[in-house]
Structure 1
Amino acid sequence: MSNTEDQHGRWRLTSRYIEVDGRPIVPVSGEIHFSRLPRNRWEDRLRLMKAGGITVVACYVFWIHHEQTEGQARFDGNLDVAAFVRLCADLDLDVVLRIGPWAHGEVRNGGFPDWVQAAAVEHRTNDAAYLALVERWFNRLGAELQGLTGPGSNVVGIQLDNELYDQPRHLTALKKLARAAGLDAPIWTATAWGGADVPEEEVLPVFGGYGDGFWVDADAPWDPTFRQHYFFSHQWDDPGIGADLREKFSGSNAAPPRSPSAFYPPATCELTGGMATAYQRRPWPRGEDVAAVANNKIGSGSGWQGYYMFTGGTNPAGGLQESQATGYPNDLPVFDYDFHAPIGAAGRLAPSFGLLRRQHAFLAAFGDRLAPMPSTLPDQVPAGVEDSETLRWALRSDGRSGFVFITWHQPHIPLPDYGGAQFSLSLPADTVTFPHQPIAIPAGTIAAWPVNLDIAGVRLGWATASALTLLGPEAAPTLVLTAEAGIEAQLCLAEGTVLEGPATAVGGNTHVIDTAGSASVTARSVEGSLKILVLPADLADEAWALDTPRGRELVLSAGPLWVGADGLLAGRSVGSPSVRRYSTASCQFEEVRPVSAEPGAARQTIDAALIRAAAPVPASFGSLAGRAAAPADGDMEERAEVYRIDATAAFPPREGKGHAELEIAWAGDVARLLVDGIVVADRFWDGSPWVIETHDAGIRPGAEILLQILPLPKDAKVGVPLAAQRRRDDADGDLAALDKVELIDWTTWQEAPA
């Protein structure tokens, strides 16, 4: 794979890391589903993903989305997979196609069209009749992608099936069919969690890691299979992912966890980017929850960071979601697939986006050093998932230099501040002990601290600030670090190195950096000099490291930002944008001059009148396998309270341009939005804001917009996050409320040419 078969012009797979253009890297892939997004939003989302550090786009190709009627496969509109791959290539993004044919993805029948599901074949086996169906589909897909895969293409990976546990020969057969259909990639993958038996001579095993999931019972405590991801570990298997479907359809539990493969570097395709919302259980991972899992995987030796989902979307109409009606244990929303992703279904950035963006900037700048570095766990590791006293950290090192990764955060069961942290690293050349005095690690710390980092003739012995990126030419670079909240930023330099700038020497070649604001210092040694910029913790989440025609740039922006087709900065903001670019010459942040339309009323409250009170709601609408069923359409029509939203003057006539959002703060069980009598969006309540892009939902001036909210009974067997449960407990009877409806009209801007 990639070496003697399916060779590629850029990508090469080794047993320790992945090479691109002869250089070790840690790829960062993010899942986005082109068929769950309007085609006119593809470029917006892809540019945002790239600006967030995604280098590889991963996407399911859902058979059921393309060929609902046998023999009538569609690839028009937002189903045009070839156009999507071409667009990714135009944006310099590589692609992993997850072609199934069974995909899951919370899709009806796991992605099988109904006519395939009903076929008299042994599905997902080497039954000749089943393979004939798959061969026809792969040939159709291969024809669409003709010329877009192969040695010079941006399609660098193909995943076969999904969550297949005991059919290695079937995976091999699928690979042969795909290759015969003209599909080609240097790396073929298969999901390996749950002890899956995969043919390692044919596919790269890929893993996942979710900190919570909708697939456990509504009242289940925080499961160890989720909790394990908040620890550093060299065990990559996760027996929890897909356990509900494995038990439902095969009647068996997971096999013992797989051992790491000696053939390949550890790789992931489904690190938590968020979590889907099922009716009976509705997790809402917060930004730190997502970033903590990702940091743990990097520190544990990840050779490929892959997120599911990175960009949320909306299911096509027609009941194509996973549901109990199609034999699955969970009911999912008909439309909503926001997934609480870093980029939400409406294009809104979640807090996880900024936190992950910092990690990805680090991987882009230091991945060539990091990728060959194995991971080492400390002598004293936590005793188990209940251990909240032992500091969680790991080292990746080549024996001389490296990075210490610290993750002191977990959801549900908060950690206390950790007192007295000091690290002792026994490297072959010497033992590095730092900091000189033990320090407290505040709860919520997620860090990557450099050790013996050599840049431009200067050695940074260690720092208690995270490495973010490198700016400028190799001959005169600027190292950018980010301070941690509640931790003094200290730098220790090699003997004889002089540090100039806002720093205080405290002995032992150690300096404390003043991070009241951004601090620029210069380290000078006999061999060279290095500029070091230390960002304060409160600015770190606004930092974007962007590769532009002018080189890598550091930009501060609270709003979404990307690089336009002309190489200049672009973005959107609520009101007038405030964007600053760092100048390595002046060592200052300088204002970026935007060109944009005059900002309108950025945020305004919209009137919503109650036009019908709710009818009594039963505690249950039925169940399957002990899991509560979602209400049917008739239940919503008969029992939900109904509001009319006044859109006469509020909504701008966008015509697909710009970006405007309807944000609904509400409480209850299920909500639906109707435009001119047609349901266009739905949501299961979990306490999070519901954000809808107005144009994509068909909202326009003069349209009749109705909001239905079904009350949530106190006795309903539905699991919601703690804050939402508290509101539920405080309600006098069934819970139903509309708190506020707001219109957010974003200003789209571009950087003025020089």
Structure 2
Amino acid sequence: MKKYIIVAISIIFSSTAQSQKVYELDTNVPEVEIHQKLKLGGINPKEQKISVNNYYMSVDNKPVIPVVAEFHFSRYPKKYWDESIRKIKAGGVNVIATYVFWNLHEEKENIFDWKGDKDLRYFLALCRKNDIEAIVRIGPFCHGEIRNGGLPDWLLGRPLNIRSNDPVYLKYVERLYNEIGKQLKGLYYKDGGPVIGIQIENEYQHSAAPWGLTYPGQPLEMTASERDMNVTQEGVGIANTVNPYSQLGNDHMKILKSLSQAAGMDVPLYTATGWGNAAIVPDESIPVTAAYAYPFWTPKRDYSPFFLYKDMHRFPDYSPVRYIPTDYPAFSAELGSGIMSVYTRRPIAVHKSFDALINRCLGSGANGIGYYMYHGGSTPKGKSSYMSDEAYGLPKISYDFQAPIGEYGQIREGFHRLKLLHFFVQDYGELLAPMTTVLPQDAANLKPENISSLRYAVRKKGNSGFVFLNNFQDDTTMVAQKNIRLKIKTGQNTIMIPETRSFDLDSGENVIFPYNLDLNGFQLNYATAQLLAKDDELTEPYYIFFSPSGIKSEFSFPSNTTIENLQGITTDKNSKSTIVSCNEAVNEFKVKAAGKVIRILVISKEMALKIYRIKINGKRHFIFSDAVVLENDKNIQLLSDRNHNFDIQIYPKTAIIPKTAFGSLKKLDHAETFSSYKISLPQTMLSVESKQISERKWALNLPNSLPKYVNDAYLTVKYTGDTAMGFMDGELVTDEFYKGIPWQIGLRKFVTGKPKEMVFYFRPMQKNASYLIDLQPYPESIPDFENKKEFLSVNGFTINAQYTTDLSF
């Protein structure tokens, strides 16, 4: 196999511009070698074919980059699954991954429970209804911060050795798989169903969870085969120790796969968590990778390497690995979009890290991206114990994970930031997936502690490609990059980005710039704007870009190109090119040549973060709004936090005036580029009556019901302390570990139509608490203890409505 070439970089200081830096990258390197040897793939009844080579996945021979979101159905109320699936899809995700936790479904031996919130089959039917695919993670070991990592308590008392080829253990696994197979029957890809993948086991011979049956003060006993105990670690990490039983581990994975297939699980994709020397099924599974920037299982905060570009196809994260990396595509399946808290450690996941991490992974050659978690939830209580990983000190109920979609379905900053990249890979994955990674010479020498050097990479095929830049690093602040230019050498030409000026890259931001890109027959030399979406199937195709924060966008076309200004731009021609400069928050222009025309819309990043993709009468459109926009059968559902009045803008413009199910809709006439409307819903005043019972205990009266135009009511609890718990009818229903972030609780699941009281109990923060190290970057979150050893302050309860209506076109 040919070696990949890491090319030289030179930083050229211009004599004509003060401190201007030109970063040079030569992309004349061999293309990645692609071969087909993996025993994966499948066909559905429509004769659509999924296939996988050593570099990317294809659907009907078209390269794709799947976007996978982890959402645990059993941690969320069944009656809201449909809404959550639609939220996930609105975020630009096309695959949902979900665990099947053995101990939730067989808490008592021989009694399987698939009813209510455990109804796996119904959940997958909703995935099919919403046209989103699924990967089912069947265990038997899952982890997922569930008690025993998903293994039932009673398994410890059986005469067998877990996670091994012990025949008695394998009999129990076979029975579990057969039960799961019954739930999945008829829902596989081959049947026209959503299930395209099965994950076998989890972090096998790498990591384990502690048994929940533990005595206080006792060292944790891990849920691993006894032979693997010495090489088993807590959490995800690098594993340099060679396991003398690695071949037995691979054999075990093969047996598990054969058992799953015997249970009917016949799918195009089988995956295995392959990081840190974990076992896989060689040539028959995709070894997926992980990256957690804010782990709770490490003793302190530290800088992660996951914001530095590398060649992930050759050097996966958490290497060494047990397989030859170049034989498999680089699929990142557990990218830490958030993190859990444990009692002793409470890392705060910065949402700017989410898209920075994806930028870095895509720029490093990843051809699949997946999140753990994308949607939080609440761990259900078992019949005889809490089912959360209590031995590790997790909350007993909350599994919020600081995720893009929260424990109660809250849409957060990370959801919007990630959406920009998801739309990009959905529309341009066919171009990006076959592209080779090219790195500057100093890439391998950069350290996370280096906050001043420019971090960048190129994905290229032939003479075209994308430049990736990232200026984010966890647990520190990067230096803003000022007055920089890029010099990209291709086999065809040398491109200066930008041609004459320079640009700045703000601290904490990341960008992707195209060069030598074909836009429906038009040559785009480069753009200092980021591609977002397109519709190139129209007579007059259009392309949507956004201007990154702090960057004035410009486009370079060949000099013979004609530009028609529709809004916001200026043009400048020279002998080599036509330069289009974008001057406003919304810019639109047409590009014309040889009787052809395309339209380009360039919006601010602020506006781009409000984008949603919809269909109106079968045609693609985009809605921009502060409200969350969800497709709901043939209608569009809108969710607006706090505001009962809000606007929507539709692109391209439509002559159809929608109707709203509640309130009123008014057409706004001032818009030139969009069809714009103001929606006004009835305002509701939700109040909360609180009563202090003692220094640590409060009682609140909840609303009896919510109006039809209110989707949920979010209770915000502001306090400074250690932990907080919420009870209804004496039962613990919600809890939280203090992190300096207001605690938000969705109330709709607790509203019954009758008067209900929720009782809160708060514990004071201790002056010597170990988790204060995680709050140090946020000094306002740490109280002034003065001469006291503990501190508790409950600062109030507020409640806000989430308004909703459906639009019909």
Deviates more, 1:172-181 or 1:367-376: 367-376
Pairing 1:618-633 to 2, within 5 Å after superposition: none
Q: Does 1:22 align with 2:76?
A: no
Question: Could you say if the C-alpha distance between residues 238 and 453 of structure 1 is closer, same or farther in structure 2, counting changes exceeding 3 Å?
Answer: closer
**CA shift at 1:514, angstroms?**
3.4
Partner of 1:270: 334
Q: Does 1:314 align with 2:378?
A: yes
Alignment partner for residue 744 of structure 1, among 777, 800, 803?
A: 800
Partner of 1:8: 43
Question: Could you say if the C-alpha distance between residues 696 and 61 of structure 1 is closer, same or farther in structure 2, counting changes exceeding 3 Å?
Answer: same
Pairing 1:362-381 to 2, within 5 Å after superposition: 362-381=424-443
CA offsets 1:683-735 (integer angstroms, 9 cap, x no match): 00111222212121357652222111100111122243335554325343322
Pairing 1:519-558 to 2, within 5 Å after superposition: 519-526=587-594, 528-547=596-615, 549-558=617-626
Alignment partner for residue 518 of structure 1, among 586, 592, 597?
A: 586
Question: Could you say if the C-alpha distance between residues 168 and 548 of structure 1 is closer, same or farther in structure 2, counting changes exceeding 3 Å?
Answer: farther
Partner of 2:661: none
Alignment partner for residue 365 of structure 2, among 282, 301, 319?
A: 301
Q: Structure 2: how far apart are the matches of 1:747 and 1:656? A: 6
Partner of 1:384: 447
Q: Does 1:96 align with 2:96?
A: no
Question: Could you say if the C-alpha distance between residues 202 and 572 of structure 1 is closer, same or farther in structure 2, counting changes exceeding 3 Å?
Answer: same
Question: Could you say if the C-alpha distance between residues 364 and 549 of structure 1 is closer, same or farther in structure 2, counting changes exceeding 3 Å?
Answer: farther
Q: Does 1:465 align with 2:534?
A: no
Alignment partner for residue 503 of structure 2, among 413, 416, 439?
A: 439
Q: Structure 2: how far apart are the matches of 1:300 and 1:548? A: 37
Contact 1:471 1:554 in 2 (8 A): no
**CA shift at 1:193, angstroms?**
0.9
Alignment partner for residue 154 of structure 1, among 187, 194, 207?
A: 194
Q: Does 1:642 align with 2:697?
A: yes
Partner of 1:677: 730
**CA shift at 1:507, angstroms?**
5.4
Deviates more, 1:559-568 or 1:94-103: 559-568
Alignment partner for residue 305 of structure 2, among 221, 228, 251?
A: 228
**CA shift at 1:202, angstroms?**
2.0
The SS at the match of 1:290 is helix
The SS at the match of 2:774 is coil
Q: Does 1:411 align with 2:474?
A: yes
Q: Structure 1: how far apart are the matches of 2:63 and 2:317? A: 30
Pairing 1:184-203 to 2, within 5 Å after superposition: 184-203=266-285
The SS at the match of 1:230 is coil
Q: Structure 1: how far apart are the matches of 2:67 and 2:442? A: 30
The SS at the match of 1:298 is helix
Q: Does 1:658 align with 2:742?
A: no
The SS at the match of 1:612 is coil
The SS at the match of 2:202 is coil
Contact 1:126 1:170 in 2 (8 A): yes
Q: Structure 1: how far apart are the matches of 2:275 and 2:474? A: 23
Aligned-pair identity (%) = 28
Question: Could you say if the C-alpha distance between residues 548 and 739 of structure 1 is closer, same or farther in structure 2, counting changes exceeding 3 Å?
Answer: farther
Q: Structure 1: how far apart are the matches of 2:600 and 2:783? A: 51
Contact 1:559 1:571 in 2 (8 A): yes
Alignment partner for residue 426 of structure 1, among 485, 489, 492?
A: 489
**CA shift at 1:653, angstroms?**
4.3
Pairing 1:478-489 to 2, within 5 Å after superposition: 478-489=542-553
Q: Structure 1: how far apart are the matches of 2:308 and 2:455? A: 6
**CA shift at 1:500, angstroms?**
2.2
Question: Could you say if the C-alpha distance between residues 189 and 547 of structure 1 is closer, same or farther in structure 2, counting changes exceeding 3 Å?
Answer: farther
The SS at the match of 1:730 is coil
Question: Could you say if the C-alpha distance between residues 234 and 142 of structure 1 is closer, same or farther in structure 2, counting changes exceeding 3 Å?
Answer: same
**CA shift at 1:142, angstroms?**
0.9
CA offsets 1:217-243 (integer angstroms, 9 cap, x no match): 2xx1315xxx11111112477776xxx
Q: Structure 2: how far apart are the matches of 1:300 and 1:697? A: 45
Q: Structure 2: how far apart are the matches of 1:543 and 1:584? A: 15
Contact 2:448 2:473 in 1 (8 A): no
Q: Does 1:505 align with 2:571?
A: yes
Q: Does 1:144 align with 2:144?
A: no
Alignment partner for residue 180 of structure 1, among 262, 278, 285?
A: 262
**CA shift at 1:579, angstroms?**
1.5
Deviates more, 1:103-112 or 1:692-701: 692-701
- C-alpha RMSD of matched pairs (Å): 2.4
Deviates more, 1:141-150 or 1:681-690: 141-150
Contact 1:520 1:587 in 2 (8 A): no
Kindly provide the amino acid, as one letter, of the partner of residue 394 in structure 1. Answer: A
Q: Structure 1: how far apart are the matches of 2:493 and 2:558? A: 13
Q: Structure 1: how far apart are the matches of 2:442 and 2:616? A: 44
Q: Structure 1: how far apart are the matches of 2:728 and 2:388? A: 24
Contact 1:52 1:354 in 2 (8 A): yes
Contact 2:39 2:284 in 1 (8 A): no
Residues matched between the structures, number:
698
Question: Could you say if the C-alpha distance between residues 597 and 420 of structure 1 is closer, same or farther in structure 2, counting changes exceeding 3 Å?
Answer: closer
Question: Could you say if the C-alpha distance between residues 548 and 139 of structure 1 is closer, same or farther in structure 2, counting changes exceeding 3 Å?
Answer: farther
Pairing 1:218-257 to 2, within 5 Å after superposition: 220-223=300-303, 227-235=304-312, 256-257=320-321
CA offsets 1:640-685 (integer angstroms, 9 cap, x no match): x0112243xx553469983222121222111001123221100001
Question: Could you say if the C-alpha distance between residues 607 and 511 of structure 1 is closer, same or farther in structure 2, counting changes exceeding 3 Å?
Answer: farther
Contact 1:472 1:584 in 2 (8 A): no
Contact 1:548 1:568 in 2 (8 A): no
Pairing 1:677-716 to 2, within 5 Å after superposition: 677-698=730-751, 702-716=755-769
Q: Structure 2: how far apart are the matches of 1:430 and 1:258? A: 41
Partner of 1:633: none
CA offsets 1:145-204 (integer angstroms, 9 cap, x no match): 222225233211100000113411111110000000111111101001112242322211
Contact 1:605 1:740 in 2 (8 A): no
Q: Structure 2: how far apart are the matches of 1:384 and 1:33? A: 35
Q: Structure 1: how far apart are the matches of 2:462 and 2:637? A: 40
Q: Structure 2: how far apart are the matches of 1:729 and 1:324? A: 27
Q: Structure 1: how far apart are the matches of 2:508 and 2:687? A: 34
Alignment partner for residue 560 of structure 1, among 624, 628, 633?
A: 628
- TM-score, length of structure 2 as denominator length: 0.82
Partner of 2:411: 349
CA offsets 1:9-51 (integer angstroms, 9 cap, x no match): 3321122211123321101010000100100010010001001
Alignment partner for residue 94 of structure 2, among 55, 58, 65?
A: 55
CA offsets 1:25-78 (integer angstroms, 9 cap, x no match): 101010000100100010010001001001001000111110100000011111
Kindly provide the amino acid, as one letter, of the partner of residue 192 in structure 1. Answer: G
Contact 2:559 2:578 in 1 (8 A): no
Structure 1: runs of 5 or more not aligned: 241-254, 614-640
CA offsets 1:400-452 (integer angstroms, 9 cap, x no match): 21111111112321001112322122212222221123322111221111111
Contact 1:461 1:494 in 2 (8 A): yes
- TM-score, length of structure 1 as denominator length: 0.88
Q: Structure 1: how far apart are the matches of 2:512 and 2:346? A: 31
Partner of 2:460: 397
Q: Structure 1: how far apart are the matches of 2:558 and 2:474? A: 39
Partner of 2:252: 170
**CA shift at 1:567, angstroms?**
4.5
Deviates more, 1:499-508 or 1:387-396: 499-508
